[in-house]
Amino acid sequence: MSARAHGEVWYRSVTPPQWNTLFAAAFGWLLDAMDVMLYAFALTAIRTEFSLSAAAAGALASVTLLTSAIGGIVFGVLADKLGRARSLGWSILVYSVFTGLTATARSLPELVLWRSLVGIGLGGEWAAGSVLVAETWPAEHRGKAVGLMQSGWAIGYILAALLASLILPRFGWRPLFAIGVVPAIFAWWVMRRVPEPEIWRRTERGTRLAIASLFRPPLLRNVGAATSLTTCVLFAYWGLFTWIPAYLASPVSAGGAGMGVVRSSGWIVPMQLGAFLGYVLFGVLADRFGRRPVFATFVVGAAVLVPIYGRVAAFPGVLMALGPLVGFLGHGYFSVFGAVLAELFPSGIRATAQGFCYNFGRAVSALAPFVIGALADRHGIGSALALTSAFFVAAGFLILLLPETRGEVLR
């Protein structure tokens, strides 16, 4: 019987091994966010050193997103074959080492190389970690668990902002990336201390599905709908949040808010606190009311808010007030993916399916930083951000193509 039936607070029914697994995935996701957002905060300094236009700087971010899509698909397959926890550990090791090596780049080709290899590990972390949590936690709390895991992104984003404000003005961007090698230590802990889910161990002894089964009935319909959904959401997300630090820091003449790196970090922190609440509350609401209605509410709210946020650069007080709402609505919906994608596919191909659906969308969304950067060169960053609203609205409709999976027992 559920904890609710006994009148027990839900989190007391969760076992220590389940909490341990959630911590591993959430902390890995936190470090993932920290490493990827270091580039966003260093964007202005990197543009200056390498004489990059906004479009070129956005294209460099797009390279990382493209390779992270490849990494997500590859690590999804590895997670089905070798294990979820083992693949999680290797993904963390990959993105940590190559983030550190980014600090050694002395030319644009070197910078492209290291950021490309960083992407392989960044994509793999979510593919392995989200399945690990989904298969370990009970069905009635799966949304909450995935929401808590996703909330690690907000903390990692805040950590990147704080590190940028402390290090960039004094030492430049290279020491900032050198710190990114530290998570490699955590990879060793994950591979030694986190067990594989029982569902995966049972399937390991049974029959695994071929990758080709994703592209024929009965799985094909869900693959198509889920991939379209993730494509729209990820395009909107990366187009918006890759450029928000630059929007806040850039001069007013470039369509920015004119705050500079140090001051703009103070605006990023409350935004990510809002994101943290969005991730967590989304999971609670999705377990209570269903995945589809809660997701639609979040993305439509983001679509309405983003154009307003991009047009109020002249009013710092308004920017500060809207920041937490942008963070809340612009991030929280991500908690749906770790739950819904796991609930749509069987264990024998679950990580492969999640890796493909999420990361095909990520590959297409790699165009987003470039597109927003190109528009920013012509119309200013604030105006360019408004394009992302169209993709948020499209995602609100696409979620209706997927079945409601709340309470689905994994098999």
Whichever domain contains 176, its CATH number is 1.20.1250.20
247 or 93, higher pLDDT: 93
| pLDDT greater than 90 at residue 187 | no
Q: Which of 363, 79, 70, 52 is nearest to 203 (CA)?
A: 79
Mean of per-residue pLDDT scores for the chain: 87
Query: Per-residue DSSP letters for 4-43?
Result: TTTT--GGGGS-HHHHHHHHHHHHHHHHHHHHHHHHHHHH
Q: Are 265 and 165 in contact, with CB atoms under 8 Å apart?
A: yes
In this prediction, residue 1 carries a pLDDT of 43
Q: Report yes or no: 36 and 245 within 8 Å, Cβ to Cβ.
A: no
To the nearest 10°, the Cα dihedral for 358, 359, 361, 366?
140
Report CA-CA distances (Å) from 151 to 6, 32, 180, 348, 378. 28, 12, 19, 28, 35
Specify if 305 maps to a domain. Answer: yes
pTM: 0.82
Which tokens sit at 343?
């609930």
- Single out the residue of 310, 312, 304 nearest to residue 329, CA to CA: 304
Confidence at 44, pLDDT banded by 50, 70, 90: confident
Give me the pLDDT at residue 368, please: 87
Residue 177 within any structural domain of the chain: yes
Specify the pLDDT at position 346. 87
Residue 73, pLDDT > 70, answer yes
Count of CB atoms situated within 10 Å of the CB of 94: 23
311-359 pLDDT, tens digit per residue, is 887 788 888 899 999 999 999 998 989 899 999 998 888 989 998 999 8
Assess contact for 61 and 368: CB atoms under 8 A: no
Per-residue pLDDT, 403? 94
Angle CA 368–91–203, to nearest 5: 110
Q: What is the DSSP string of 193-238?
A: HPPPPHHHHHHHHSPPPPGGGGGSTTTHHHHHHHHHHHHHHHHHHH
4 in a structural domain: no
For residue 205, pLDDT beyond 60? no
Q: How confident is the model at residue 379 (pLDDT cuts 50, 70, 90)?
A: confident
With 80 as the cut, is the pLDDT of residue 298 above it? yes
For the cut 70, the answer to whether the pLDDT of residue 96 exceeds it is yes
Per-residue pLDDT, averaged over 5-26, amounts to 81
Buried b (16+ CB within 10 A) or exposed e, 202-233: ebeeeeebeeebbeeeebeebbebbbbbbbbb
Percent of the chain with pLDDT over 70: 95
What is the structure's pLDDT at 48? 87
410 part of a folded domain: no
Q: Domain total for the chain?
A: 1
- CA 322/CA 307 separation, integer angstroms: 11
- Span 78-103, mean pLDDT? 91
Q: How confident is the model at residue 286 (pLDDT cuts 50, 70, 90)?
A: very high
Judge whether 89 lies within some domain.
Answer: yes
Residue type, 113: L
- At 2, the pLDDT band (50, 70, 90 cuts) reads very low
Query: Is 402 in a helix, a strand, or coil?
Result: coil
Q: Is residue 255 part of a domain?
A: yes
Confidence of residue 236 (pLDDT cuts 50, 70, 90): very high
Determine the structural domain holding residue 296 and report its residue range: 14-400
Is the residue at 1 inside a domain? Answer: no
Best CA proximity match to 229, nearest among 385, 74, 358, 69: 358
pLDDT of residue 87: 93
Positive/negative CA dihedral, 240, 269, 156, 11: negative
Of residues 205 and 373, which shows the higher confidence score? 373
* 7 assigned to some structural domain: no
- pLDDT grade for 199, boundaries at 50, 70 and 90: confident
How far apart CA 90 and CA 121 sit, in angstroms, is 8
Report the pLDDT averaged over residues 215-244: 92
